[in-house]
Amino acid sequence: MSGNPGKFFVEDTENTGGGTHDLQPDSGLRGRPPGEVDVDSTKTTSDWHSQLRWLSSNMEQRTDQTDLRLMTLDLLPENVMTLQDGVALTRSDPSRKWDVLLIGGMHTLVSEFAVLARSFSYLYESGVPVSAISPDAILMGSDRRLYIVSNRLQPKEEQDLDEVAARITPEVLLASHDSKLNESQIVYALAVLLHECVLGSPPWSGRDATEVADRLLSGVCLLDQSEVPLNPPGLKGLLRDSLAIDPARRPGTLKGFASMLEAVRDGERPRSRSRSGSLEPPRLWRLRVALFGVLLVIAALIGRFAGTEETSFDMSGELAKVMLVRPLPLHGEEPPVDPFAIRLFLRYELRARSQTQDPEVQRQFAWVSLRAGRNQLARTAAQYATRIEPGRPGSWVVMGISAIELGDSGGVIEIERGLELEPLDDFDRWSLVAGNLYLLRFDNALEELNRMVVTDSGDADLWFHKALCEMHMGDLKSARTSIDRCRKLNPLDGWNDWLFAEIAHADGRIGVTRETLEISQARLHAADSLALRTASLWDRLGSKKTANDWLKRSRKNVNDWQDIEWRRGGRIVLPKRAILFLGPPAPPETSKNTSE
pTM beyond 0.85, yes or no = no
d(CA 102, CA 490): 9
| Best CA proximity match to 505, nearest among 429, 442, 594 | 594
Please report how the helices 359-371 and 426-438 are oriented relative to each other, as an axis angle in degrees rounded to 10. Answer: 40
Percentages helix, strand, coil for the chain, rounded to the nearest 5?
60, 5, 40
Tell me the one-letter amino acid at 528: D
Runs of H (alpha helix) within 126-233: 161-164, 170-173, 183-199, 209-218, 222-225
What is the tens place of the pLDDT at every residue in 52-92? 888 887 765 554 545 678 887 766 665 668 888 888 888 77
What is the tens place of the pLDDT at every residue in 459-471? 888 999 999 999 9
Query: Between 351 and 448, where is the model more confident?
Result: 448
Name the DSSP letter for residue 274.
P
Name the DSSP letter for residue 229.
P
Is the pLDDT confidence value at 107 over 90? no
The per-residue DSSP string of 435-492 comes to: HHHHTT-HHHHHHHHHHHHHH-TT-HHHHHHHHHHHHHTT-HHHHHHHHHHHHHH-TT
d(CA 153, CA 167): 13
| Best CA proximity match to 258, nearest among 60, 68, 56 | 68
Q: What is the pLDDT of residue 532?
A: 86
d(CA 163, CA 206): 9
Query: Between 324 and 253, where is the model more confident?
Result: 253
d(CA 521, CA 504): 17
Domains of the chain plus CATH, in order, are 8-265 (1.10.510.10), 501-596 (no CATH)
- % of the chain residues with pLDDT over 90: 28
Give φ, ψ of 309 to 5 degrees.
-65, -45
The count of other CB atoms within 10 Å of the CB of residue 260 is 25
What is the tens place of the pLDDT at every residue in 152-193? 898 888 888 888 888 998 888 887 666 788 999 999 999 999
What's the whole-number mean pLDDT along residues 517-529?
82
What is the tens place of the pLDDT at every residue in 356-411? 888 888 988 999 999 889 999 999 999 999 999 999 999 999 999 999 998 888 89
Q: Which of 8-17, 286-295, 558-567, 580-589 shows the highest mean pLDDT?
A: 558-567
> Which residues fall within 8 angstroms of residue 229, CB to CB, at 6 or more apart?
236
Strand 138-140 versus strand 565-566 pairing type: unpaired
What is the tens place of the pLDDT at every residue in 328-337? 888 888 888 8
User: Can you say how many angstroms the Cα of residue 222 is from the centroid of all Cα atoms in its chain?
Assistant: 25
Query: Between 107 and 59, where is the model more confident?
Result: 107
Q: What is the pLDDT of residue 341?
A: 82
Is the pLDDT confidence value at 273 over 50? yes
Q: What is the pLDDT of residue 315?
A: 64
Please state the length of the chain.
Answer: 596
Residue 10 confidence class, pLDDT cut points 50, 70, 90: very low
Q: What is the pLDDT of residue 566?
A: 72
Q: What is the pLDDT of residue 26?
A: 39
Q: Which of 46-50, 433-437, 517-521 shows the highest mean pLDDT?
A: 433-437
- % of the chain residues with pLDDT over 70: 74
The per-residue DSSP string of 76-115 comes to: --TT-EEHHHHHHHHTTSHHHHHHHHSTTHHHHHHHHHHH
> 3-state DSSP call for residue 146?
strand
Give CA separation, 503 vs 331, 477, 480, in Å: 21, 9, 7
Is the pLDDT confidence value at 576 over 60? yes
What's the whole-number mean pLDDT along residues 550-577?
73
Q: What is the C-alpha radius of gyration for the chain, rounded to an integer number of angstroms?
A: 26
Residue 2 confidence class, pLDDT cut points 50, 70, 90: very low
What's the whole-number mean pLDDT along residues 200-227?
77
As a whole number of angstroms, the longest Cα–Cα distance in the chain is 87
Is the pLDDT confidence value at 29 over 50? no
Per mean pLDDT, which range of 188-202, 277-291, 431-445, 505-519 is the poorest?
277-291
Contact 395, 386 (CB under 8 A): yes
Handedness of CA 493, 497, 500, 502 (dihedral sign): negative
End-to-end CA distance of the chain: 31
Is the pLDDT confidence value at 21 over 90? no
The count of other CB atoms within 10 Å of the CB of residue 262 is 17
Is the pLDDT confidence value at 572 over 90? no
352: left (phi over 0), alpha (psi -120 to 50) or beta: alpha
Contact 193, 138 (CB under 8 A): yes
Contact 119, 150 (CB under 8 A): no
